[in-house]
C-alpha cells in the first residue's frame, strides 16, 4: 500500500471511529425537584423544558418554529430517527410499544410478558447511549379498554430494567386521559416510572388540578394534546362529529398551551403536540398539523409565536366561516340527491397572498377505530362544479343517499393552508320528482 493510500485509510478509519464514539456518548438526563418543590428536567446539567411534537417528519420546520424534541410510539426505524434528530439538535422521547390487551395480548401469560421484556432489553442496549435520546416512553395508552391491570407490573419491570441498564435517561408511561384510579395503580405497581405522561385533548384543562388530587407526587408531561377529540364534540342529527376549522383549532391550541401547559411551572416538564404530520383519523384533517401535501396549518403559526415569542414572517390563511345553502356546520343540512348546493366561504390571508381553493365531497368515514389505530380513508366523490367564483362554488349533490362532508381547503402558495369541513346528508329524490335540471357541467379539478 503506498503512502497516500495508507493516509487515506487512516483518515477513513479515524472518521469512522470519531462517528462511532460520538454516537456512543450518552447525554445525561435527569429529573430534579427544587427546594421550592418545582420539578424540572435537566439535560447535560442544564434545565430542559420540552417543546415537542409527536411524529418524526418535517423536522426542519419543527426547529424553525422553536421546537426541541420529538416523540415516537415505537422503535421502528429508531436509529435513523435518532440520527435525524441529532443532526438538527433535537431530542427524542423514544417509545417502547408495550402490547395492548385490546389487541389480544394477555398479561396473565408470564411467558409472553417475559419475552416482551427481553425484547425491550435488546432495544434499550442498542439505543441507550445515543446523544439524541431524552427519555423512554414505556407504552402508550395500554389502559385503553383494558381489564387486566397487571399490565402495570409489566410496565414497572420494563422501567426497572431500564434503570439498571441505562442510568442516564428517565422513564415515562402514558395513559389515555387522567383517571385517579390509574394514577393509584401506577404509584403502587410501577414505582420505577419517573414521569407521568398524559394524552389529553378537550380535557386538558382538568389535568393541573386532577393530577394533584389523584396524588401523583412527581413530574408529568402532556404527551399528546391538540384539538377537541372526535369523541368530545357535538354531533349532527345523523351522528357525524362536527370538526373544528383550522382557525378554530389554532385558537384552542393557543389558549390550551398558555393556560394549561405553560402555566403549571411546578409539575409539568413539557409537552408533545399531536400530530406532527397527517393521518386519517375520523377525517383526514382532524389531528394532523400538516396537509397531505405537507403544507402547514394555522396551529403551527401559533406554536411559532408561543415558542419563539413572535409570529412567523408569513402566516397561514384563516377561515372565518363556510356554509352550504346558507347553513353552517352542525346545523341540519339536508340536500336532495343531485340537486344544486351553493357553497360560500369567508377566507382571508393575513399577508395578502392570493388564495387558491380546493373543494371535495367525501363520504362520512365508516372505519372509525380507537387509540389511533390505522383507519382507511373514504374515496372522494367525483366532484363537479356548476359555477365557481373564488371563495364560492355551486356543486351538484351526490346521487347516493347517505352522510357526506364537504371539505374546503385554501392555499396561499407559500406552503400554508387552511381548511374546514361541513357534514351534510343526502336524501333520495322523490319518485315523482322531475329529473334534476340538466346543466352543462364544468368538471372541477379536485387538486
Domain ranges of the chain: 23-308, 318-443
The whole-number pLDDT of residue 24 equals 65
Question: How far, in Å, CA of 158 to CA of 97, rounded?
Answer: 11
Question: How far, in Å, CA of 95 to CA of 78, rounded?
Answer: 9
Indicate whether 50 pLDDT > 60.
yes
Q: pLDDT tens-digit profile of 119-130? A: 999 999 999 999
Mean pLDDT over each residue of the chain, to the nearest integer: 91
Could you tell me the pLDDT band of residue 383, with boundaries at 50, 70 and 90?
low
> Per-residue pLDDT averaged across 179-201, rounded?
98
202-to-206, 220, 228 alpha-carbon distances in Å: 9, 18, 5
> Per-residue pLDDT averaged across 70-76, rounded?
97
> Per-residue pLDDT averaged across 298-313, rounded?
98
User: Rg for the chain (alpha carbons), in Å?
Assistant: 25
The whole-number pLDDT of residue 47 equals 98
Instruction: Count CB atoms within 10 A of the CB of residue 29.
Output: 18
CB 98 within 8 A of CB 115: no
> Per-residue pLDDT averaged across 377-392, rounded?
81
Q: Does domain 318-443 have CATH number 2.60.40.10?
A: yes
Domains 23-308 and 318-443 share a fold: no
Place of cell 418554529: 65
The whole-number pLDDT of residue 371 equals 81
| 3-state secondary structure (DSSP) of residue 384 | strand
CB-based contacts of 341, cutoff 8 Å, min separation 6: 324, 325, 335, 394, 395, 396, 397, 406, 424
Question: How far, in Å, CA of 251 to CA of 243, rounded?
Answer: 14
Q: Which of 26-40, 174-188, 387-401 has the lowest mean pLDDT?
A: 387-401
Sheet containing 29-33: order of strands: 29-33, 39-43, 46-47
Could you tell me the pLDDT band of residue 19, with boundaries at 50, 70 and 90?
very low
Q: Which of 90-94, 309-313, 333-337, 381-385 has the lowest mean pLDDT?
A: 381-385
Find out whether the peptide bond into 275 is cis, omega within 30 degrees of 0.
yes
Could you tell me the pLDDT band of residue 370, with boundaries at 50, 70 and 90?
confident
> Per-residue pLDDT averaged across 29-55, rounded?
97
The superfamily in CATH containing domain 23-308 is Glycosidases (3.20.20.80)
> Per-residue pLDDT averaged across 366-393, rounded?
84
Q: What is the pTM of this model?
A: 0.91
Q: pLDDT tens-digit profile of 398-446? A: 999 999 999 999 999 999 999 999 999 999 988 766 666 544 334 333 3
301: enclosing H helix or E strand:
helix 298-308
Indicate whether 14 pLDDT > 70.
no
Indicate whether 358 pLDDT > 80.
yes
DSSP character string of 283-343: BSSSS-SB-TT-PBPHHHHHHHHHHHSS--SS---EEEEEEETTB-TTS--EEETT-EEEE
The whole-number pLDDT of residue 430 equals 85
The whole-number pLDDT of residue 387 equals 75
Q: Which of 3-17, 97-111, 152-166 has the lowest mean pLDDT?
A: 3-17
Question: How far, in Å, CA of 201 to CA of 54, rounded?
Answer: 14
Indicate whether 378 pLDDT > 50.
yes
The whole-number pLDDT of residue 417 equals 98
Amino acid at each position: 500500500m503506498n503512502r497516500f493510500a495508507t493516509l487515506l485509510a487512516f483518515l477513513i478509519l479515524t472518521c469512522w471511529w470519531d462517528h462511532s464514539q460520538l454516537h456512543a456518548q450518552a447525554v445525561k438526563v435527569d429529573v430534579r425537584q427544587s427546594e421550592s418543590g418545582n420539578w424540572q428536567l435537566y439535560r447535560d446539567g442544564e434545565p430542559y423544558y420540552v417543546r415537542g411534537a409527536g411524529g418524526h417528519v418535517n423536522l426542519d420546520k419543527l426547529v424553525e418554529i422553536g421546537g426541541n424534541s420529538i416523540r415516537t410510539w415505537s422503535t421502528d426505524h429508531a436509529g435513523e430517527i435518532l440520527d435525524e434528530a441529532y443532526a438538527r439538535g433535537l431530542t427524542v422521547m423514544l417509545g417502547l410499544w408495550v402490547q395492548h390487551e385490546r389487541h389480544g395480548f394477555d398479561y396473565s401469560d408470564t411467558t409472553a410478558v417475559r419475552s416482551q421484556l427481553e425484547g425491550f432489553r435488546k432495544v434499550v442496549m442498542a439505543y441507550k447511549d445515543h446523544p439524541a435520546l431524552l427519555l423512554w416512553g414505556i407504552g402508550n395508552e395500554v389502559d385503553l379498554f383494558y381489564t387486566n391491570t397487571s399490565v402495570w407490573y409489566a410496565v414497572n419491570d420494563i422501567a426497572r430494567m431500564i434503570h439498571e441498564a441505562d442510568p442516564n435517561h428517565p422513564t415515562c408511561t402514558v395513559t389515555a386521559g387522567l383517571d385517579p384510579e390509574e394514577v393509584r395503580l401506577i404509584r403502587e405497581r410501577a414505582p420505577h416510572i419517573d414521569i407521568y405522561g398524559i394524552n389529553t385533548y378537550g380535557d386538558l384543562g382538568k389535568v393541573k388540578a386532577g393530577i394533584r388530587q389523584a396524588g401523583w407526587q412527581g413530574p408529568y408531561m402532556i404527551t399528546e394534546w391538540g384539538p377537541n377529540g372526535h369523541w368530545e364534540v357535538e354531533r349532527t342529527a345523523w351522528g357525524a362529529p362536527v370538526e373544528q376549522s383550522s382557525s378554530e383549532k389554532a385558537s384552542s391550541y393557543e389558549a390550551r398551551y398558555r393556560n394549561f401547559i405553560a402555566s403549571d411551572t411546578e409539575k409539568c416538564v413539557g409537552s408533545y403536540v399531536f400530530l406532527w404530520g397527517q393521518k386519517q383519523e375520523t377525517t383526514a384533517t382532524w389531528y394532523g398539523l400538516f396537509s397531505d401535501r405537507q403544507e402547514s396549518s394555522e396551529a403551527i403559526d401559533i406554536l411559532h409565536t408561543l415558542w419563539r415569542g413572535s409570529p412567523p414572517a408569513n402566516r397561514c390563511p384563516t377561515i372565518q366561516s363556510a356554509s352550504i345553502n346558507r347553513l353552517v356546520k352542525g346545523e341540519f343540512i339536508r340536500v336532495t340527491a343531485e340537486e344544486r348546493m351553493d357553497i360560500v366561504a369567508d377566507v382571508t390571508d393575513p399577508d395578502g397572498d392570493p388564495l387558491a381553493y380546493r373543494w371535495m365531497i367525501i363520504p362520512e368515514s365508516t372505519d372509525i377505530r380507537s387509540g389511533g389505530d390505522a383507519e382507511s380513508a373514504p374515496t372522494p366523490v367525483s366532484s363537479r362544479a356548476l359555477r365557481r367564483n373564488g371563495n364560492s362554488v355551486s356543486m351538484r349533490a351526490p346521487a347516493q343517499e347517505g352522510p357526506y362532508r364537504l371539505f374546503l381547503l385554501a392555499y396561499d402558495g407559500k406552503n400554508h393552508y387552511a381548511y374546514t369541513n361541513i357534514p351534510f346528508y343526502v336524501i333520495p329524490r322523490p319518485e315523482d320528482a322531475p329529473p334534476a335540471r340538466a346543466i352543462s357541467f364544468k368538471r372541477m379539478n379536485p387538486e
